[in-house]
A and B are shown apart, each in its own frame.
Chain A
Amino acid sequence: MKRVYVNEDWCLGCHLCEYYCSFANSGKSDMVKAFNGDKKTTPRIVIEEGDDINFAVQCRHCEEPLCAKGCIAGALTVTNGIVTIDSSRCVGCYTCVLSCPYGCIVTDHEKVVKKCDLCASKSGEPACVKGCPNAAIVFEERG
């Protein structure tokens, strides 16, 4: 299965992936509207910054995801290898937030949690991959 991988050698820490991710999940047609409107959107990808090193972290789509295992409402499931969330089922208990070892389940002003779905509902590569200016984030099949 194709997954998102990050090569920290090329990550500049520009944070643009976060913005492209938020925009892709905002449902807005225009980036300015997505960020300067009333409703704020949250990125599903987060840049970790160090002194000399930066890298983007998002859902690893584990084969046996701890988040899904711990979900009390059955909202998190693995569909075609992608760990997906059914917002209508999420009760906002945040068990998944606590159990994810990568810190990849995010929360915002809404009750339900948010997470990366590899932009499965959209066509082409995930928005973070498309938006990365230095090809530090790639979407590919690896053994």
Chain B
Amino acid sequence: MAINYFYPDYEVIRNEKKCIKCKACVRQCANEVHAYDEELDCLVSDDASCVDCQRCVSLCPTRALKIVETDNTFKKNANWPQAMITDAYRQAGTGGVLLSSMGNPQPYPVYWDKMLINASQVTNPSIDPLREPMETQTFLGKKPRTIKFDSEGNIVSETYPNLKLSIPIMFSAMSYGSISKNAHESLARAATELGIYYNTGEGGLHQDFYQYGANTIVQVASGRFGVHKKYLEAGAAIEIKMGQGAKPGIGGHLPGTKVGEDVSRTRMIPRGTDAISPAPHHDIYSIEDLRQLIFSLKEATDYKKPVIVKIAAVHNVAAIASGIARSGADIIAIDGYRGGTGAAPTRIRDNVGIPIELALASVDQRLRDEGIRNDVSVVVGGSVRNAGDIVKAIALGADAVYIGTAALLALGCHLCRSCHGAKCNWGIATQRPDLVKRLNPEIGYKRLVNLLHAWDHEVKEMMGGMGINSIESLRGNRLMLRGIGLTEKELDILGISHAGE
């Protein structure tokens, strides 16, 4: 037998005194970590299969379980951390590219946490959102430069299709295939109830979800899966996916095992075949080509829907965004390097792209400098984690934010980052029917609505504290931000002063 180079990352600790042998852990673990040993009349576990998804811990009725990180250590080496050594062992064994899921977990700086928000004292009174009107509604899309009225008071200037958001938050693109039907239903129903939008991702729109079309953004990606006229017409907006924060520069790959009957019909591909999204759109090699696709989609939908172009935050993002704004897009979505994914090569996820905070600040500034900021709305995603991040994003210049990971957390995700294994114990990133049913959309959509209501309250509280009663007055209001522990260059890019200034 070959040498086993791997010691389990996690250990299952079972308190034998508290365990009542109900076997819920055995039944709930798709990784088959737990088992009941009849001879010993006790539960046993195979630590090596544990991904630390916490499903067993959450369901154990007597809290007899916990999962801990192993303290088995290789000889300490600051240059060669244990995880890196293990990766080398893994690749030496398989010869394969390492796969990972969800956002970049590496300890890069989080700029949200290095910015502080202002509050009014004495001169500019703060506002209590529970007593006075406070507006978080916003509109996404091209805005007219001037407004002209006729003698009757009707607007005669040309207006453009806009998306109306009751809260400046949308659910970012997650395809049916990468996440389950129940996860999609939860997102769709929550978006409808909240008056916001969810995004189909590149997997097409399941026939059952056309009813939520008014709150759906339909995506057109390089694989063009599930794209047809009815699909384009079903959504409130169309998003062209040029890139994804978790894996800029590469395409996608949904393994054939996940392409069952339903996914196959929705994506319009044969059952059991791999769904491969190419790295580039094969018809886009320039801004002019992008413009052609934007106008093809607008033509197909009678110029009634705004078109979003989504890109990953990369170097020179400001110049790229400027090109997109000029290509006829109504909304630019930028996805930071911490954005999630159902599967990405580890090295790409962990090393490619730039922080969304810096990308947002430079894009907003560039568009303002060029006088085209009002031609497009800017939506940012790629790890917006709470209401504080949202206020900071809007103050830096975003019109709204996309949340993906946070939405999945509301549905029960524990960020075990094993989506690519397709055995999600929470029924989110899987197509296995017995696992999918673990996510009841009736519960899921309410939790999403709760999360966003809570965040909306918090955003209003913080706006009130600054003496601002409309999200429009916060947008691009960088005077409301101060940096902490940042260099001159970082402050310069973010366009903010240092705390104390």
Judge whether A14 and B443 touch: CB under 8 Å. no
A52 to B435 CA separation, bound complex (whole angstroms): 11
Residues of A within 8 A of B20 (CB): 19, 31-32, 34-36
Q: A14-B28, A15-B27 are in contact. Are A52 and B442 (CB under 8 A)?
A: no
Residues of B within 8 A of A87 (CB): none
Which residues of A (106-143) have their CB < 8 Å from a CB of B?
131, 133-136
Task: Give A31's nearest chain B residue, CB to CB.
Answer: B62
- CB A3 to nearest CB in B, in angstroms, measures 19
- CB B14 to nearest CB in A, in angstroms, measures 13
Choose from B17, B28, B61, B434 the contact partner of A131 (Cβ within 8 Å).
B61
Which residues of B (1-48) have their CB < 8 Å from a CB of A?
17-18, 20-24, 27-28
A34 to B437 CA separation, bound complex (whole angstroms): 30
Which residues of A (1-33) have their CB < 8 Å from a CB of B?
9-10, 12-16, 19-20, 23, 31-32
Task: Give A9's nearest chain B residue, CB to CB.
Answer: B437
Judge whether B59 and A14 touch: CB under 8 Å. yes
Judge whether A15 and B62 touch: CB under 8 Å. no
A32 to B21 CA separation, bound complex (whole angstroms): 10
A88 to B136 CA separation, bound complex (whole angstroms): 64
Judge whether A135 and B440 touch: CB under 8 Å. yes
- CB B180 to nearest CB in A, in angstroms, measures 13
A52 to B62 CA separation, bound complex (whole angstroms): 28
Choose from B27, B61, B433 the contact partner of A20 (Cβ within 8 Å).
B61
Judge whether B17 and A14 touch: CB under 8 Å. no
Q: Total interface residues on B, using CB and 8 Å?
A: 19
Q: A-side interface residues toward B, CB under 8 Å?
A: 9-10, 12-16, 19-20, 23, 31-32, 34-36, 52, 131, 133-136
Q: A31-B61, A32-B17, A133-B59 are in contact. Are A15 and B437 (CB under 8 A)?
A: no
A7 to B439 CA separation, bound complex (whole angstroms): 13
Judge whether A16 and B59 touch: CB under 8 Å. yes
Judge whether A13 and B61 touch: CB under 8 Å. no
Residues of A within 8 A of B438 (CB): 12, 134
Q: What are 5 residue pairs bridging A and B, where the CB atoms are less than 8 Å apart in the complex?
A: A12-B438, A15-B22, A16-B61, A31-B20, A134-B440
Residues of B within 8 A of A133 (CB): 59
Residues of B within 8 A of A23 (CB): 61
Which residues of B (44-71) have their CB < 8 Å from a CB of A?
59, 61-62
- CB A132 to nearest CB in B, in angstroms, measures 10
Residues of A within 8 A of B28 (CB): 12, 14
A142 to B482 CA separation, bound complex (whole angstroms): 57
Choose from B18, B21, B24 the contact partner of A16 (Cβ within 8 Å).
B24
A105 to B144 CA separation, bound complex (whole angstroms): 72
Task: Give B438's nearest chain A residue, CB to CB.
Answer: A12
- CB B42 to nearest CB in A, in angstroms, measures 12
Cβ contacts B432-476/A at 8 Å (1 or 0 each): 011001101011000000000000000000000000000000000
Residues of A within 8 A of B27 (CB): 12-15
- CB B436 to nearest CB in A, in angstroms, measures 10
Q: Which 10 A-B pairs have the closest CB atoms?
A: A35-B20, A19-B22, A10-B440, A134-B440, A31-B62, A14-B24, A135-B440, A32-B18, A14-B27, A32-B62
Residues of A within 8 A of B61 (CB): 16, 19-20, 23, 31, 131
A16 to B23 CA separation, bound complex (whole angstroms): 9
Residues of B within 8 A of A134 (CB): 437-438, 440, 443
Task: Give A23's nearest chain B residue, CB to CB.
Answer: B61
- Excluding A14-B59, A15-B23, A15-B24, 6 further A-B contacts by CB distance (< 8 Å) are A10-B437, A15-B22, A19-B22, A20-B61, A52-B433, A136-B440
A133 to B442 CA separation, bound complex (whole angstroms): 12
Judge whether A135 and B24 touch: CB under 8 Å. no
- CB A12 to nearest CB in B, in angstroms, measures 6
Most A-side CB within 10 Å, residue of B17, B433, B442: B442
Task: Give B439's nearest chain A residue, CB to CB.
Answer: A134
- CB A32 to nearest CB in B, in angstroms, measures 5
Task: Give A47's nearest chain B residue, CB to CB.
Answer: B27
Residues of A within 8 A of B22 (CB): 15-16, 19, 35
Residues of B within 8 A of A9 (CB): 437
Residues of B within 8 A of A36 (CB): 17, 20
A30 to B22 CA separation, bound complex (whole angstroms): 15
